[in-house]
Amino acid sequence: MNSPHNLPGQPQLAYRGNELFCEDIRLSDLAKEHGTPLFVYSKGAMLSALAAYQRGFAGRTVQICYAMKANSSLGVIQVFAEAGCGFDVVSAGELQRVLAASGPAEKIIFSGVGKTRSEMRAALQAGIGCFNVESEAELEVLSDVALSMNVKAPVSIRVNPNVDPKTHPYISTGLKGSKFGVAHERVVQTYQRAAALPGIQVKGIDCHIGSQITEVAPYLDAVDRMLDLVEAIEAAGIPIHHIDFGGGLGINYNGDTPPSADDLWDKMLAKLDGRGFGQRHLMIEPGRSLVGNAGVCLSEVLYLKPGEQKNFCIIDAAMNDLPRPAMYQAYHQIVPVCTRTAAPATYDVVGPVCESGDWIGHDRALAVQQGDLLAVLSAGAYCMSMASNYNSRGRAPEILVDGAQTHVIRQRETVAEQMRYESLVTR
Ligand code: LLP
Protein backbone atom coordinates (compact mmCIF):
# COMPACT_ATOMS: atom_id res chain seq x y z
CA MET A 1 0.00 0.00 0.00
CA ASN A 2 1.20 3.55 -0.67
CA SER A 3 2.11 5.57 2.40
CA PRO A 4 -0.90 7.53 3.72
CA HIS A 5 -1.39 10.95 2.19
CA ASN A 6 -2.77 13.47 4.69
CA LEU A 7 -4.94 16.40 3.75
CA PRO A 8 -3.64 19.83 4.81
CA GLY A 9 -5.19 20.99 8.11
CA GLN A 10 -7.03 17.65 8.54
CA PRO A 11 -4.70 15.45 10.57
CA GLN A 12 -7.30 12.70 11.04
CA LEU A 13 -7.98 12.31 7.31
CA ALA A 14 -5.66 10.48 4.96
CA TYR A 15 -5.81 8.64 1.68
CA ARG A 16 -4.56 5.07 1.95
CA GLY A 17 -4.15 4.07 -1.65
CA ASN A 18 -7.12 5.74 -3.35
CA GLU A 19 -9.46 5.47 -0.33
CA LEU A 20 -10.05 8.24 2.19
CA PHE A 21 -9.84 7.19 5.86
CA CYS A 22 -10.86 8.97 9.08
CA GLU A 23 -8.47 7.68 11.73
CA ASP A 24 -8.56 3.91 11.01
CA ILE A 25 -11.96 3.84 9.36
CA ARG A 26 -12.55 3.66 5.61
CA LEU A 27 -15.12 6.34 4.87
CA SER A 28 -16.73 4.44 1.99
CA ASP A 29 -17.55 1.62 4.46
CA LEU A 30 -19.35 4.09 6.73
CA ALA A 31 -21.33 5.49 3.80
CA LYS A 32 -22.31 1.98 2.74
CA GLU A 33 -23.46 1.08 6.23
CA HIS A 34 -25.25 4.30 7.22
CA GLY A 35 -26.16 5.94 3.91
CA THR A 36 -25.57 9.55 2.90
CA PRO A 37 -25.53 12.39 3.68
CA LEU A 38 -23.55 11.39 6.76
CA PHE A 39 -21.46 13.37 9.23
CA VAL A 40 -18.30 11.68 10.48
CA TYR A 41 -16.25 13.12 13.35
CA SER A 42 -12.84 12.17 14.66
CA LYS A 43 -12.57 12.07 18.43
CA GLY A 44 -8.78 12.19 18.10
CA ALA A 45 -8.95 15.43 16.09
CA MET A 46 -11.18 17.04 18.73
CA LEU A 47 -8.86 16.03 21.54
CA SER A 48 -5.77 17.18 19.69
CA ALA A 49 -7.40 20.57 19.02
CA LEU A 50 -8.14 20.79 22.75
CA ALA A 51 -4.58 19.74 23.58
CA ALA A 52 -3.23 22.73 21.63
CA TYR A 53 -5.12 25.04 23.99
CA GLN A 54 -4.02 23.04 27.03
CA ARG A 55 -0.37 23.32 25.92
CA GLY A 56 -0.80 27.05 25.46
CA PHE A 57 -2.11 27.43 29.00
CA ALA A 58 0.35 25.13 30.77
CA GLY A 59 1.05 26.45 34.27
CA ARG A 60 -1.88 28.91 34.25
CA THR A 61 -5.30 28.84 35.84
CA VAL A 62 -7.77 28.49 33.03
CA GLN A 63 -11.21 27.08 32.34
CA ILE A 64 -11.85 26.10 28.74
CA CYS A 65 -15.59 26.33 28.06
CA TYR A 66 -16.45 24.65 24.75
CA ALA A 67 -18.89 26.94 22.88
CA MET A 68 -21.26 24.13 22.05
CA LYS A 69 -23.27 26.10 19.51
CA ALA A 70 -20.53 24.97 17.10
CA ASN A 71 -21.70 21.38 17.48
CA SER A 72 -24.20 20.56 20.18
CA SER A 73 -24.62 16.82 19.55
CA LEU A 74 -24.63 14.87 22.80
CA GLY A 75 -21.77 12.57 21.77
CA VAL A 76 -19.59 15.59 21.00
CA ILE A 77 -20.45 17.29 24.30
CA GLN A 78 -19.55 14.04 26.04
CA VAL A 79 -16.06 14.03 24.48
CA PHE A 80 -15.36 17.49 25.89
CA ALA A 81 -17.01 16.83 29.25
CA GLU A 82 -14.86 13.72 29.72
CA ALA A 83 -11.78 15.77 28.77
CA GLY A 84 -12.54 18.18 31.64
CA CYS A 85 -14.01 21.08 29.68
CA GLY A 86 -16.67 23.47 30.80
CA PHE A 87 -19.33 24.73 28.38
CA ASP A 88 -20.53 28.02 26.98
CA VAL A 89 -24.30 27.72 26.47
CA VAL A 90 -26.74 30.18 24.95
CA SER A 91 -30.14 28.67 25.67
CA ALA A 92 -32.01 26.41 28.08
CA GLY A 93 -31.80 23.78 25.36
CA GLU A 94 -28.01 23.87 25.30
CA LEU A 95 -27.97 23.83 29.11
CA GLN A 96 -30.10 20.69 29.17
CA ARG A 97 -27.88 19.04 26.59
CA VAL A 98 -24.77 19.58 28.76
CA LEU A 99 -26.55 18.15 31.80
CA ALA A 100 -27.82 15.19 29.73
CA ALA A 101 -24.23 14.45 28.68
CA SER A 102 -23.12 14.63 32.36
CA GLY A 103 -21.26 17.90 31.91
CA PRO A 104 -20.56 19.67 35.20
CA ALA A 105 -23.05 22.48 35.95
CA GLU A 106 -20.50 24.55 37.83
CA LYS A 107 -18.35 24.79 34.70
CA ILE A 108 -21.21 26.17 32.56
CA ILE A 109 -21.29 29.79 31.52
CA PHE A 110 -24.44 31.20 29.95
CA SER A 111 -23.99 33.75 27.13
CA GLY A 112 -26.48 35.49 24.85
CA VAL A 113 -28.31 38.81 24.55
CA GLY A 114 -31.83 37.51 25.15
CA LYS A 115 -32.01 35.16 28.10
CA THR A 116 -35.57 34.66 29.28
CA ARG A 117 -36.67 34.52 32.92
CA SER A 118 -37.37 30.82 32.60
CA GLU A 119 -33.90 30.20 31.14
CA MET A 120 -32.39 32.16 34.04
CA ARG A 121 -34.37 30.06 36.52
CA ALA A 122 -33.28 26.80 34.88
CA ALA A 123 -29.63 27.88 34.96
CA LEU A 124 -29.79 29.03 38.60
CA GLN A 125 -31.55 25.80 39.53
CA ALA A 126 -28.77 23.79 37.86
CA GLY A 127 -26.12 25.86 39.69
CA ILE A 128 -24.15 27.13 36.68
CA GLY A 129 -20.81 28.87 37.13
CA CYS A 130 -21.55 32.25 35.58
CA PHE A 131 -23.99 34.29 33.52
CA ASN A 132 -22.33 36.42 30.86
CA VAL A 133 -24.72 39.36 31.03
CA GLU A 134 -25.09 41.52 27.94
CA SER A 135 -27.12 44.56 29.08
CA GLU A 136 -28.18 46.59 32.09
CA ALA A 137 -31.80 45.54 31.59
CA GLU A 138 -30.78 41.88 31.72
CA LEU A 139 -28.91 42.50 35.00
CA GLU A 140 -32.05 43.87 36.64
CA VAL A 141 -34.16 40.91 35.52
CA LEU A 142 -31.51 38.38 36.55
CA SER A 143 -31.25 39.95 40.02
CA ASP A 144 -35.01 39.77 40.33
CA VAL A 145 -35.16 36.10 39.29
CA ALA A 146 -32.29 35.16 41.62
CA LEU A 147 -33.90 36.95 44.57
CA SER A 148 -37.15 35.10 43.96
CA MET A 149 -35.14 31.86 44.33
CA ASN A 150 -33.18 33.12 47.38
CA VAL A 151 -29.85 32.88 45.59
CA LYS A 152 -27.34 35.26 44.07
CA ALA A 153 -26.58 34.98 40.38
CA PRO A 154 -22.85 34.79 39.56
CA VAL A 155 -22.23 37.32 36.82
CA SER A 156 -19.66 38.51 34.36
CA ILE A 157 -20.45 41.40 32.06
CA ARG A 158 -19.82 41.01 28.38
CA VAL A 159 -17.93 44.01 27.18
CA ASN A 160 -17.93 45.23 23.63
CA PRO A 161 -14.25 46.11 23.17
CA ASN A 162 -14.84 47.75 19.76
CA VAL A 163 -12.10 45.89 17.89
CA ASP A 164 -12.34 44.74 14.29
CA PRO A 165 -11.74 40.98 14.05
CA LYS A 166 -11.42 41.25 10.23
CA THR A 167 -13.84 38.45 9.49
CA HIS A 168 -17.24 38.08 7.78
CA PRO A 169 -19.62 40.85 8.99
CA TYR A 170 -22.23 38.31 10.15
CA ILE A 171 -19.73 36.77 12.54
CA SER A 172 -18.07 40.00 13.81
CA THR A 173 -19.45 40.68 17.24
CA GLY A 174 -17.10 43.04 19.05
CA LEU A 175 -17.58 46.23 17.03
CA LYS A 176 -19.59 49.30 17.98
CA GLY A 177 -23.01 48.94 16.41
CA SER A 178 -23.18 45.22 17.21
CA LYS A 179 -26.05 43.97 19.35
CA PHE A 180 -23.58 42.20 21.63
CA GLY A 181 -22.02 43.32 24.88
CA VAL A 182 -22.01 46.52 26.91
CA ALA A 183 -20.34 49.53 25.28
CA HIS A 184 -16.86 50.30 26.59
CA GLU A 185 -17.91 53.71 27.98
CA ARG A 186 -20.72 52.23 30.09
CA VAL A 187 -18.86 49.29 31.54
CA VAL A 188 -17.77 50.74 34.91
CA GLN A 189 -21.23 52.16 35.52
CA THR A 190 -22.78 48.77 34.69
CA TYR A 191 -20.46 47.04 37.17
CA GLN A 192 -21.42 49.58 39.83
CA ARG A 193 -25.07 48.79 39.24
CA ALA A 194 -24.32 45.03 39.31
CA ALA A 195 -22.47 45.36 42.62
CA ALA A 196 -25.43 47.22 44.11
CA LEU A 197 -28.07 44.71 43.03
CA PRO A 198 -29.08 42.29 45.80
CA GLY A 199 -29.46 39.24 43.55
CA ILE A 200 -26.12 39.64 41.75
CA GLN A 201 -22.63 38.53 42.65
CA VAL A 202 -19.94 39.98 40.39
CA LYS A 203 -17.47 37.29 39.29
CA GLY A 204 -15.74 38.28 36.11
CA ILE A 205 -15.60 40.09 32.82
CA ASP A 206 -15.87 38.71 29.31
CA CYS A 207 -15.72 39.57 25.64
CA HIS A 208 -16.05 37.76 22.35
CA ILE A 209 -14.94 39.71 19.31
CA GLY A 210 -16.02 37.47 16.45
CA SER A 211 -15.52 34.14 14.77
CA GLN A 212 -13.15 32.60 12.21
CA ILE A 213 -10.46 35.08 13.25
CA THR A 214 -7.18 34.30 11.50
CA GLU A 215 -4.95 37.03 12.95
CA VAL A 216 -3.44 37.57 16.39
CA ALA A 217 -3.64 41.38 16.37
CA PRO A 218 -7.39 41.77 17.10
CA TYR A 219 -7.01 39.50 20.13
CA LEU A 220 -4.08 41.52 21.45
CA ASP A 221 -6.12 44.73 21.03
CA ALA A 222 -8.97 43.11 22.94
CA VAL A 223 -6.60 42.13 25.78
CA ASP A 224 -5.46 45.72 26.18
CA ARG A 225 -8.98 47.06 26.21
CA MET A 226 -10.20 44.41 28.62
CA LEU A 227 -7.32 44.99 31.03
CA ASP A 228 -7.89 48.76 30.96
CA LEU A 229 -11.46 48.01 32.01
CA VAL A 230 -10.47 45.53 34.72
CA GLU A 231 -8.17 48.19 36.19
CA ALA A 232 -10.97 50.78 36.10
CA ILE A 233 -13.55 48.42 37.63
CA GLU A 234 -11.20 47.32 40.39
CA ALA A 235 -10.25 50.96 41.04
CA ALA A 236 -13.97 51.50 41.66
CA GLY A 237 -13.75 48.86 44.41
CA ILE A 238 -15.23 45.89 42.56
CA PRO A 239 -12.92 42.85 42.39
CA ILE A 240 -12.84 40.82 39.16
CA HIS A 241 -12.12 37.12 39.72
CA HIS A 242 -11.93 35.87 36.18
CA ILE A 243 -11.26 37.29 32.73
CA ASP A 244 -12.94 35.51 29.82
CA PHE A 245 -11.65 36.24 26.31
CA GLY A 246 -14.41 34.40 24.43
CA GLY A 247 -13.77 32.21 21.40
CA GLY A 248 -13.29 33.02 17.75
CA LEU A 249 -10.04 31.39 16.66
CA GLY A 250 -10.35 30.43 13.00
CA ILE A 251 -9.54 27.18 11.23
CA ASN A 252 -8.03 26.29 7.88
CA TYR A 253 -10.91 25.96 5.41
CA ASN A 254 -9.05 26.80 2.25
CA GLY A 255 -5.46 27.68 2.92
CA ASP A 256 -6.41 30.01 5.79
CA THR A 257 -3.51 30.43 8.17
CA PRO A 258 -4.83 31.16 11.66
CA PRO A 259 -2.31 30.97 14.49
CA SER A 260 -2.34 27.67 16.36
CA ALA A 261 -4.07 27.83 19.74
CA ASP A 262 -0.79 27.49 21.63
CA ASP A 263 0.87 30.16 19.52
CA LEU A 264 -2.02 32.57 20.03
CA TRP A 265 -1.97 32.01 23.78
CA ASP A 266 1.79 32.38 23.97
CA LYS A 267 1.36 35.89 22.63
CA MET A 268 -1.75 36.63 24.69
CA LEU A 269 -0.11 35.43 27.90
CA ALA A 270 3.03 37.46 27.19
CA LYS A 271 0.80 40.52 27.01
CA LEU A 272 -1.12 39.54 30.13
CA ASP A 273 2.18 38.92 31.97
CA GLY A 274 3.52 42.24 30.75
CA ARG A 275 0.60 43.99 32.39
CA GLY A 276 0.70 41.87 35.54
CA PHE A 277 -2.43 39.81 34.85
CA GLY A 278 -0.83 36.50 33.83
CA GLN A 279 -1.74 34.71 37.06
CA ARG A 280 -5.42 35.68 37.00
CA HIS A 281 -8.12 33.06 36.54
CA LEU A 282 -8.68 33.00 32.78
CA MET A 283 -11.51 31.59 30.71
CA ILE A 284 -12.02 31.03 27.01
CA GLU A 285 -14.98 29.92 24.90
CA PRO A 286 -13.65 28.23 21.76
CA GLY A 287 -16.11 26.50 19.44
CA ARG A 288 -15.07 26.15 15.80
CA SER A 289 -11.38 25.63 16.54
CA LEU A 290 -12.19 22.55 18.67
CA VAL A 291 -14.50 20.76 16.25
CA GLY A 292 -14.48 22.38 12.80
CA ASN A 293 -11.73 20.34 11.22
CA ALA A 294 -12.67 17.18 13.12
CA GLY A 295 -15.68 16.53 10.88
CA VAL A 296 -16.59 15.70 7.30
CA CYS A 297 -19.92 15.31 5.58
CA LEU A 298 -20.12 12.39 3.16
CA SER A 299 -22.44 12.74 0.23
CA GLU A 300 -23.25 10.75 -2.91
CA VAL A 301 -23.14 12.18 -6.41
CA LEU A 302 -26.73 11.79 -7.64
CA TYR A 303 -26.34 13.23 -11.12
CA LEU A 304 -23.84 15.01 -13.33
CA LYS A 305 -25.56 17.65 -15.39
CA PRO A 306 -23.45 19.26 -18.08
CA GLY A 307 -24.54 22.75 -19.11
CA GLU A 308 -23.55 25.43 -21.59
CA GLN A 309 -22.13 27.75 -18.96
CA LYS A 310 -21.63 25.42 -16.01
CA ASN A 311 -21.42 21.75 -15.22
CA PHE A 312 -23.40 20.76 -12.17
CA CYS A 313 -22.51 17.97 -9.80
CA ILE A 314 -25.73 17.30 -7.89
CA ILE A 315 -25.12 15.63 -4.55
CA ASP A 316 -27.47 14.34 -1.86
CA ALA A 317 -26.28 16.81 0.81
CA ALA A 318 -27.83 20.26 0.66
CA MET A 319 -28.05 23.67 2.30
CA ASN A 320 -30.20 22.18 5.06
CA ASP A 321 -27.25 19.94 6.03
CA LEU A 322 -24.43 22.36 5.19
CA PRO A 323 -25.81 25.89 5.52
CA ARG A 324 -22.52 27.79 5.63
CA PRO A 325 -21.93 28.29 1.88
CA ALA A 326 -25.47 29.65 1.36
CA MET A 327 -25.36 31.80 4.51
CA TYR A 328 -21.83 33.17 4.49
CA GLN A 329 -20.50 32.29 1.02
CA ALA A 330 -18.23 30.02 3.03
CA TYR A 331 -15.69 27.76 1.36
CA HIS A 332 -15.52 24.08 2.27
CA GLN A 333 -13.09 21.79 0.48
CA ILE A 334 -14.75 18.94 -1.39
CA VAL A 335 -12.71 15.82 -2.11
CA PRO A 336 -13.47 12.36 -3.49
CA VAL A 337 -13.82 9.51 -1.00
CA CYS A 338 -12.24 7.18 -3.63
CA THR A 339 -9.96 8.95 -6.07
CA ARG A 340 -10.14 8.27 -9.82
CA THR A 341 -7.33 8.65 -12.30
CA ALA A 342 -9.57 10.29 -14.94
CA ALA A 343 -8.98 13.95 -15.80
CA PRO A 344 -11.05 16.29 -13.64
CA ALA A 345 -13.80 18.56 -14.95
CA THR A 346 -15.02 21.77 -13.33
CA TYR A 347 -18.35 21.61 -11.51
CA ASP A 348 -20.61 23.64 -9.33
CA VAL A 349 -21.42 21.21 -6.53
CA VAL A 350 -25.06 21.71 -5.58
CA GLY A 351 -27.74 20.04 -3.46
CA PRO A 352 -31.30 18.92 -4.25
CA VAL A 353 -33.04 21.82 -2.44
CA CYS A 354 -35.22 24.03 -4.63
CA GLU A 355 -33.22 27.23 -4.36
CA SER A 356 -30.37 28.64 -6.42
CA GLY A 357 -28.67 29.40 -3.10
CA ASP A 358 -28.37 25.68 -2.47
CA TRP A 359 -24.75 25.31 -3.46
CA ILE A 360 -21.91 23.65 -1.58
CA GLY A 361 -18.98 24.66 -3.78
CA HIS A 362 -18.45 26.71 -6.94
CA ASP A 363 -16.04 25.83 -9.75
CA ARG A 364 -14.51 22.73 -8.23
CA ALA A 365 -12.19 20.49 -10.23
CA LEU A 366 -13.40 16.93 -9.67
CA ALA A 367 -12.91 13.58 -11.38
CA VAL A 368 -16.31 12.07 -10.51
CA GLN A 369 -19.03 9.83 -11.84
CA GLN A 370 -22.63 9.35 -10.84
CA GLY A 371 -22.76 7.24 -7.67
CA ASP A 372 -19.34 8.37 -6.38
CA LEU A 373 -18.93 9.61 -2.83
CA LEU A 374 -17.61 13.06 -1.97
CA ALA A 375 -16.42 14.35 1.39
CA VAL A 376 -17.17 17.95 2.31
CA LEU A 377 -14.38 18.91 4.71
CA SER A 378 -14.31 21.14 7.82
CA ALA A 379 -17.89 20.15 8.53
CA GLY A 380 -17.56 19.62 12.28
CA ALA A 381 -18.58 23.16 13.28
CA TYR A 382 -21.77 25.07 12.51
CA CYS A 383 -23.10 22.43 10.14
CA MET A 384 -25.19 19.89 12.08
CA SER A 385 -25.90 22.48 14.78
CA MET A 386 -27.37 24.77 12.09
CA ALA A 387 -29.01 22.02 10.03
CA SER A 388 -32.71 22.33 9.30
CA ASN A 389 -35.57 20.32 7.85
CA TYR A 390 -36.01 22.63 4.87
CA ASN A 391 -37.73 20.83 2.00
CA SER A 392 -38.79 18.28 4.66
CA ARG A 393 -35.37 16.71 4.55
CA GLY A 394 -34.45 14.66 7.61
CA ARG A 395 -31.29 15.59 9.43
CA ALA A 396 -28.30 13.37 8.67
CA PRO A 397 -26.85 10.83 11.09
CA GLU A 398 -23.55 11.41 12.88
CA ILE A 399 -20.77 8.93 13.55
CA LEU A 400 -17.95 9.45 16.04
CA VAL A 401 -14.76 7.65 15.05
CA ASP A 402 -12.31 6.70 17.78
CA GLY A 403 -9.33 4.85 16.30
CA ALA A 404 -10.75 1.70 14.73
CA GLN A 405 -14.07 2.05 16.58
CA THR A 406 -17.19 3.85 15.44
CA HIS A 407 -20.15 5.08 17.46
CA VAL A 408 -23.47 6.22 16.04
CA ILE A 409 -24.14 9.42 17.99
CA ARG A 410 -27.21 10.45 15.99
CA GLN A 411 -29.54 8.41 13.82
CA ARG A 412 -31.04 9.63 10.57
CA GLU A 413 -34.20 11.60 11.24
CA THR A 414 -37.28 10.08 9.64
CA VAL A 415 -40.19 11.92 8.05
CA ALA A 416 -42.47 10.56 10.79
CA GLU A 417 -40.15 12.17 13.37
CA GLN A 418 -40.28 15.45 11.50
CA MET A 419 -44.08 15.40 11.62
CA ARG A 420 -44.30 14.26 15.25
CA TYR A 421 -45.43 17.57 16.71
CA GLU A 422 -47.81 18.53 13.93
CA SER A 423 -51.47 17.74 13.59
CA LEU A 424 -54.25 18.05 11.08
CA VAL A 425 -57.11 20.35 11.98
CA THR A 426 -59.83 18.20 13.47
CA ARG A 427 -63.42 18.92 12.47
N1 LLP B 1 -18.61 32.76 22.64
C2 LLP B 1 -19.62 33.49 22.18
C3 LLP B 1 -20.28 34.44 23.08
C4 LLP B 1 -20.05 33.35 20.85
O5 LLP B 1 -21.04 34.09 20.38
C6 LLP B 1 -19.39 32.42 20.01
C7 LLP B 1 -19.83 32.22 18.61
C8 LLP B 1 -18.34 31.65 20.55
C9 LLP B 1 -17.97 31.86 21.87
C10 LLP B 1 -17.61 30.62 19.75
O11 LLP B 1 -16.95 31.18 18.67
P12 LLP B 1 -15.99 30.28 17.75
O13 LLP B 1 -14.80 29.88 18.60
O14 LLP B 1 -16.76 29.11 17.29
O15 LLP B 1 -15.60 31.18 16.64
N16 LLP B 1 -22.40 30.21 12.37
C17 LLP B 1 -21.22 30.98 12.11
C18 LLP B 1 -20.44 31.27 13.38
C19 LLP B 1 -21.24 31.99 14.43
C20 LLP B 1 -20.47 32.24 15.70
C21 LLP B 1 -21.38 32.70 16.79
N22 LLP B 1 -20.75 32.90 18.07
C23 LLP B 1 -20.37 30.23 11.08
O24 LLP B 1 -20.77 29.17 10.64
O25 LLP B 1 -19.31 30.71 10.69
pLDDT tens for each residue of 188-244: 999 999 999 999 999 999 999 999 999 999 999 999 999 999 999 999 999 999 999
Q: How far is the CA of 126 from the centre of ligand 1 (A)?
A: 24
Question: How far is residue 279 CA from its own chain's centroid?
Answer: 27
Whether ligand 1 lies within 6 angstroms of the CB of 387 is answered as no
Whether ligand 1 lies within 6 angstroms of the CB of 70 is answered as yes
Whether ligand 1 lies within 6 angstroms of the CB of 332 is answered as no
Catalogue the E-assigned strands of 68-137.
86-89, 108-110, 130-133
**What are the domain boundaries of the chain?**
5-43+292-418, 111-286
pLDDT tens for each residue of 305-351: 999 999 999 999 999 999 999 999 999 999 999 999 999 999 999 99
Whether ligand 1 lies within 6 angstroms of the CB of 394 is answered as no
The four Cα atoms 17, 18, 24, 30 give a dihedral, to 10 degrees, of -150
Helical H segments across 236-334, by residue range: 261-274, 288-291, 324-328
Q: How far is the CA of 150 from the centre of ligand 1 (A)?
A: 33
Q: How far is the CA of 233 from the centre of ligand 1 (A)?
A: 27
Q: How many CA atoms lie within 13 A of 128 on its CB side?
A: 31
Confidence band, pLDDT 50/70/90 cuts, at residue 297? very high
Average pLDDT score over residue span 361-376 = 98
Active centre residues (catalytic): 354
Q: What CATH fold (topology level) applies to the domain 5-43+292-418? A: Lyase, Ornithine Decarboxylase; Chain A, domain 1 (2.40.37)
Q: What is the mean pLDDT of the chain?
A: 95
pTM value is: 0.97
Which protein residue's CA is at the shortest distance from atom 24 of ligand 1?
Answer: 382
Average pLDDT score over residue span 30-55 = 98
- CATH number of the domain at 111-286, out of 3.30.499.10, 3.40.462.10, 3.20.20.10, 3.30.70.1070? 3.20.20.10
The single-letter DSSP state of residue 342 is S
Helices 217-235 and 187-196, axial angle in degrees (round to 10): 50
